[in-house]
Amino acid sequence: MTYNVNGKAFDREPEPGQCLRTFLRALGHHGVKKGCDAGDCGACTVWLDGSPVHSCITPAFRAEGHEVTTIEGLGSPGSLHPMQRRFRDAPGFQCGFCTAGMIMTSAAFTEAQKADLPRALKGNLCRCTGYRAVEDAVKGVVGVETAKPGKAVGTSVGAPAANDVVTGRAEFTMDTRMEGMLHLKVVHSPHAHARILAIDKTAALAVPGVHRVYTWQDVPRRRFTTAIHTDHLVDPDDTYILDDTVRFVGQRVVAVLADTPGAAEEGCRKVVVEYERLPAVFDPEEAMAEGAPQIHGTPDPFVRDPVRNILLELHSHIGDVEAGFAEADVIHEGTYSSPRVQHAHLETHGSIAWMEDGRLNVRTSSQSPSIAKVKLSYLFALRPDQLRVFCKRVGGGFGGKQEVISEDLVALATLDTGRPVCFEYTREEEFTTASPRHPMSLTVKLGAKADGTLTAVQVRNVSNTGAYGNHGGETLYAGGAAVMIYRCPNKKYDAYSVYTNTVPSGALRGYGMTQPAFAMESAMHELALALHMDPLELRRRNIVRPGDPLVALHDGPDDVTFTEDGLAKCIDLVDRAMARPAPEPNLGPGWLIGSGVASSLHETAPPTEHISEAWVTLGDDLVYEVAVGTAEFGEGTSTAHVQIAAGQLGTTPSRIRLVQSDTDRTGFDTGAFASAGLFVSGNAVLRASNAVRDRILEFAAAHTGVHLVMCSMDDDGVTCGDRRVSLAELVALARARGIRFTAARKAYGSPRSVTSNTQGFRIAVHRVTGEIRILYSVQATDAGVVINPQQVRGQVEGAVAQGIGFALTENFLLDADGAVVNPNFRNYRIPTYADVPRTEVLLVDSADSVGPLRAKGMAECSINPVAPALANALHDATGIRYRALPLTPERIYSRLGEKQHVSKA
């Protein structure tokens, strides 16, 4: 069969039933991505005779005799297609995994399609950007700026990998081919709770191409936690690589290793597993009840109460809440619940392992290769020098890749066989086996005097950690931030992280604060109405101010500095924005209009120790190499690190070469989560850059005999008094003396500071269908000194889009046996372009006390006020309080109908 791909003709016979996506990737066209393999996300879009098609649902044989164009054939770094240039210059991407498909779709648009982007982009999903950056790219809006030497900070410079991203040449985890690579697939449990009695491998091993079938008897019997933190003791060691007891539908039971994915899948189908089914429990309240099935028999000492299935419980109080409620003129109490939410990063989890010079190498999609290395060393009894773990570009994370859930199996198989092994999750496995946001139910009781002064705050939080602990304990602690945001002398917080026979929960943007923020901010809105007070005014009267103790779980000392009134500024900015005259929406009859606001407060680093080390070196080519362990997955830390280094070294971003996320080539880094990629790693880069600058200046001063204070650095030289010495000359002189201009510095996530934000929405709700349309969205955020304005706006826009999904559409649906019944994009429904409004982003004028160059990491917290602001707007529009997410049309309609029925009666 003859194919024409990117202008080149060749003869090739596809495999029976092979799709065009895998066919093209086998030819080396790695810009064609896998996001869903169901025609839902558009990451695999290519042109067939100039028309965009989803190659994952296009049979390869249908391309015979036709012209196929992939992103690599559209343009090259030196000769960009106009649409590639637009996406680079907007910029129209963050992680970049969806970008090739977005460009291939957009580059074929007619003028009519450009005028109707909600319809034209319906087949392409993006989880990072919130779509406004994509719209800007399509329309040719330029956001990227050029920085002058030493002036990079505060400028919207482009990402270092921009050209590679828009041309499909940026390498993601699975974008490589290795000779002799084996493929690993997994048999998953069909039962929510069962003991494995026997596993028959015979038929599986007889499948042509199958090499190994691994069971719990073939793996190290070492307990560990898949969660990633520097201090592993904060998470429970309740997990095995493979186990003889399964605790949720989807838990991996057997791993099959074969020459091809097809052979591995067939091997999985041939494995025979004999189970003894055990009683299961899916609701956390039922799981804590006396007589409930016990999920973990011999737990880690960290587990609080295995008999009641409690991983961790917190009980704290300040003051006397009963006395506080007795003082109150008004008391409000309500229970608020939020569901599981999937990260839906378009790149699924995946890892590749191989042996090289007697060492195990693991290439993985991780937010923390350093700690992944620590865990693998422990599991397989390897010395640190026997193992390398690294990342290429990571296709989205949002906390989902703050786990070790694919690396262990490839390491096992490679250590066993000596051959390269890859393991790539399917989209269904992301839903059924990866770690979604914790479902939580929070009962909030608030007391206030008539003037709005809070007298008592009481919260009971029940969190469903699923079958394994992972991040269950730390997210429970994090929820205290929702209580911390308001001043009150009497607070009580009772919280439970509970095991159930459901998919394990994990880290997701907002990290344990998103669900309590929904509850607390909804309750504050209801309290304000009971007090006949403006909800923003109630917040103003009670928010913490600089000098106030940040009291949540205890009133003891901590390492958090609170020096700025950023939250009050956020509230004021949103208040003014929401008060501006708005155009009358052209909606027709049957629509109800409402507005709502909510706020959140967030610590700028996690309370567990966070560490980062950066190395900076001036090379012989006069380029500064900055090596830092932080992974880049769309959060923009790579760009910020380059800007910080360029600013301190008096140069431009083009003179900075970044090396990152490789345990062989960078220092230890806890990982890119909780916004620590900027706050902690940024400080490490800042300190290392300053150290190199000082060494160059000291060397130049000694060389010229001029006092150090008379020396200053510029882009390519040092001026000492009235003499200027080029960097080239200084490097040559230093080399001759055996001196290198290099330095390493560490930074820690302590002391910490706080950042804050306020979200406002104006919405329309249809009184018959329950449909919600967002008419206006605004968020004010306290980012301190802004390193890159365009990136800050992009992070807020992306967080708002994710928050809209959390609030309105996203929900795991489980059947009576605990199985996920909607494990795909089509039925799970993350927001599309048409669902997301353009958010007005307002930046507070502030400066952090401890962040790099007085900047704050803020991408984590921007999601937290979104759901409660929408819920408050919905209440304002309908007069009905909805306390359970998501706010789906059917859920809204059912109660609107009740109200209309009552009013008619």
Structure tokens at 200: 């028959």
Asked whether residue 680 carries a pLDDT value surpassing 60, the answer given is: yes
The helix (H) or strand (E) run that includes residue 704 is: helix 681-704
Measured between alpha carbons, how far is 183 from 350 in angstroms, rounded to an integer?
11
Distance CA 96, CA 870 (A): 29
Between 5 and 306, name the one with better pLDDT. 5
Is residue 278 a contact partner of residue 195, using CB atoms and an 8 Å limit? yes
Give, as one character, the DSSP assignment of residue 709.
Answer: G
560 pLDDT band, cuts 50/70/90, is: confident
Question: Residue 508 above 50 pLDDT?
Answer: yes
Q: Under a CB-based contact definition with an 8 Å cutoff, are residues 766 and 642 in contact?
A: no
The owner of tokens 């974008």 is 175
Residue 552's pLDDT band, with cuts at 50, 70 and 90, is low
DSSP 477-492: HHTTHHHHTB--S-EE
- Tens of pLDDT, residues 526-541: 999 999 999 999 999 9
Whether pLDDT at 904 is above 50 = no
Q: Which of 323, 305, 322 is nearest to 313 (CA)?
A: 305
Average pLDDT value for the chain: 95
**pTM for the structure as a whole:** 0.96
pLDDT band for position 369 (cuts 50, 70, 90): very high
Tell me what pLDDT residue 901 has.
44
Confidence of residue 481 (pLDDT cuts 50, 70, 90): confident
In terms of Cβ atoms closer than 10 Å to its own Cβ (0-12, 13-18, 19+), residue 10 is: exposed
* Beta strand spans in 218-309 (E): 245-246, 252-258, 272-277
Report the percentage of the chain scoring pLDDT > 90: 90
Q: Which residues contact 19 (CB under 8 A, 6 or more apart)?
A: 37, 55, 56, 57, 58, 59, 60
Determine the Cα–Cα distance for residues 867 and 761; give it in Å rounded to an integer: 10
At residue 656, the pLDDT reads 98
CA 861 to chain centre: 11
Residue 899 pLDDT grade (very low, low, confident, very high; cuts 50, 70, 90): low
First to last CA, the chain: 72
| Residue 767 clears pLDDT 80, i.e. is over it | yes
The whole-angstrom separation of Cα 35 and Cα 43 is 6
Q: Please, which residues have CB within 8 angstroms of residue 567's CB and are 6 or more apart in sequence?
A: 485, 543, 544, 599, 601, 756, 758, 782
Residue 592 confidence (pLDDT) above 50? yes
596: its two tokens: 């709502």
Reference 688, options 623, 619, 746; nearest CA is 746
Residue 475 has pLDDT above 90, yes or no: yes
Residue 554 has pLDDT above 80, yes or no: no
User: Is the peptide bond between 581 and the residue preceding it cis, with omega within 30 degrees of 0?
Assistant: no
The residue-averaged pLDDT of 428-456 equals: 98
pLDDT 10s digits, 121-159: 999 999 999 999 999 999 999 999 999 999 999 999 999
696 Cβ contact partners less than 8 Å away, ≥ 6 residues apart:
618, 713, 718, 727, 730, 741
Q: Which helix (H) or strand (E) holds 755?
A: strand 754-766
Residue 191 is encoded by which pair of tokens? 């039962």
pLDDT band for position 900 (cuts 50, 70, 90): low
Q: Looking at the predicted structure, is the pLDDT value of residue 56 above 70? A: yes
The whole-angstrom separation of Cα 734 and Cα 619 is 11
Strand order in the sheet with 272-277: 245-246, 194-200, 272-277
799-840 pLDDT, tens per residue?
999 999 999 999 999 999 999 999 999 999 999 999 999 999
Nearest to 228 by CA among 611, 535, 553: 611
H/E segment holding residue 624? strand 624-628
What's CA 113's distance to the chain center, in Å?
31
State the Cα torsion 352-357-359-362 to the nearest 10°.
-20
Q: How confident is the model at residue 212 (pLDDT cuts 50, 70, 90)?
A: very high
* E strand intervals along 190-339: 194-200, 210-214, 245-246, 252-258, 272-277, 310-318, 330-338
Residues 5, 9, 13, 17, Cα dihedral to 10°: 20
Query: What digits encode the pLDDT tens for the residues 235-283?
Result: 999 999 999 999 999 999 999 999 999 999 999 999 999 999 999 999 9
- pLDDT for residue 301 is more than 90: no
| Residue 300: predicted pLDDT | 67
CA distances in angstroms from 777 to 637, 780, 800, 861, listed in the order given: 26, 10, 9, 17
pLDDT of residue 566: 93
